Amino acid sequence: MKCKFTVFIPFVLLFATVLSSCNDYLDVVPKGRKIPKTLADFEALMRDEYTNQRFPIAQATLLLNDYYERQENLNYSQLSRINYMWEEGTSRINFNNTSEGTYYTGYAAISTFNLLVQYVPTATEATEQQRKTLVAQAKLARAMHYFVLVNYYADTYEAANAGSKLSVPLIESADISAPHKQVTIQEMYDYILLNITEALPDLPADGATVVHATVAAAHAFRARVYLQMGNYPEALQAADMALAENDQLFDWTAYYESYKDLIEQPGLYPSLPSPKGYDYVENYIFGHGEVAFASSENDVRVDRAGRFEPGDASFAARWKLRTLGNETYYQSITAGRYNQGGITTAEVYLIKAECLARNNDLTGAMQALNAVRAKRILPQSYTALSAANTRDAINLIRRTKENEMLFTIVAFADMRRFNKDPQYARTLTKKADNVTLSLKPESHLWTMPFPLGAINNPGNGTIKQNVNQ
């Protein structure tokens, strides 16, 4: 990443307020404040990683049981406990003000990108192409946030009913009092795709930083969206176009060998440098996860660790089994940055693999899958996989992808997508206090309730709750 700095959100709110006020006040700048005018002023907002490049999805990750949650945290947050312990009989709606980050972080970022789309065309000290590029990057970033919101707060996409089910509010203006509408799932996906289509002609091959969208990032994101919609031909085409721009894969087996002595030393829990940060060779675009500038990954449950393939170097290099008191889990042993909100080549390889499998090209599907696995599975454990049929192929692809996309919205979105297909629907099970718990594919827990703050204060529009409890 060439350069990076943070701009605080009051800067954005000030600008939105001033520009939505009477023109007489446009030249009145509060003391100590600055209204952006130049391209550099606006471009600083794109670099505001804490506000605009963060994709928190805590409750989705808790529902998946993809990380180890300590008992004291469950005692503190009833909403977290309901999701983590799959308590279907307890309504989450009244507890949802304890976890509003996904909603408000997403819409704060969308407000910033709406602002850029609206006002960058008049930015000074810039060429016309520079203005177009920043607007295009804002449109792609806006679409990425809407993808998270629609896959978190609305039902998963199904062509048969997407036009009749509500999704999330669609807000296209940065003006504080602008009206908005809660659109259908189909309308939201159409809007996401429209943003990608409009952005592509003006995106560069290389971004100023790894949070600035490129042509490759747009194709990769388009592949993700079309896969979620079940449009496999379009997803495959987009995946191929993204991989034509960047098809590099990080060699986790070599990374493991470099730190093998530290990793395998009994009783030692090192802080190895995370390779998944700004300079990760797999990055198309970078985004933070639950915590901006996180210094380590979440710990992993023992039963969740069992779903990694034997000999997976990426797992062995990132987590190590630990027991403290009566708690046993896999502790994170890397430190640095983690691209949990962006898009990587590994995801796109696996999108391609699934699309080929759906088209019954089993050889091509396994080639794409094995390209990723060859960089993950230690040589002594690696065997190239083959599949006898589409279902076997997809199950193999799915295993790798679930682990690659751990702690991202994709892991949650994929699980919901597969749950709508009887061939691939899966009931999750676990033991807690010697009691077997389960989460069925049809559970209402798979859709998160809107925060009460959003329901009670919808602004210039209305919001209908998408779940009953």
Domains of the chain from N-terminus onward: 9-213+427-456 (1.25.40.390), 246-425 (1.25.40.900)
Query: Confidence band (pLDDT; 50, 70, 90) for 82?
Result: very high
Average pLDDT over residues 220-246: 98
Average pLDDT over residues 65-94: 90
**Number of other residues whose CB lies within 10 A of the CB of residue 296:** 16
How far apart CA 250 and CA 243 sit, in angstroms, is: 14
Average pLDDT over residues 444-467: 91
The pLDDT tens digits for 350-379 are 999 999 999 999 999 999 999 999 999 999
Q: Is the pLDDT of residue 12 over 70?
A: no
How far apart CA 446 and CA 304 sit, in angstroms, is: 18
Structure tokens, 14: 């000030």
The pLDDT tens digits for 269-285 are 999 999 999 999 999 99
pLDDT of residue 28: 40
The pLDDT tens digits for 310-335 are 999 999 999 999 999 989 999 999 99
Query: Confidence band (pLDDT; 50, 70, 90) for 34?
Result: low
The pLDDT tens digits for 143-188 are 999 999 999 999 999 999 999 999 999 999 988 888 999 999 999 9
Structure tokens, 45: 């907002």
pLDDT of residue 99: 67
- Whether the CB-CB separation of 92 and 469 falls below 8 Å is answered with yes
pLDDT of residue 74: 84
pLDDT of residue 140: 98
Exposed e or buried b for every residue in 211-250, given b needs 16+ CB within 10 A?
A: bbbbbbbbbbbbbbbbbbbebbebbbbbbebbbebbeebb
How far apart CA 260 and CA 274 sit, in angstroms, is: 15
pLDDT of residue 200: 98
pTM here? 0.92
pLDDT of residue 15: 46
**Between 7 and 322, whose confidence is greater?**
322
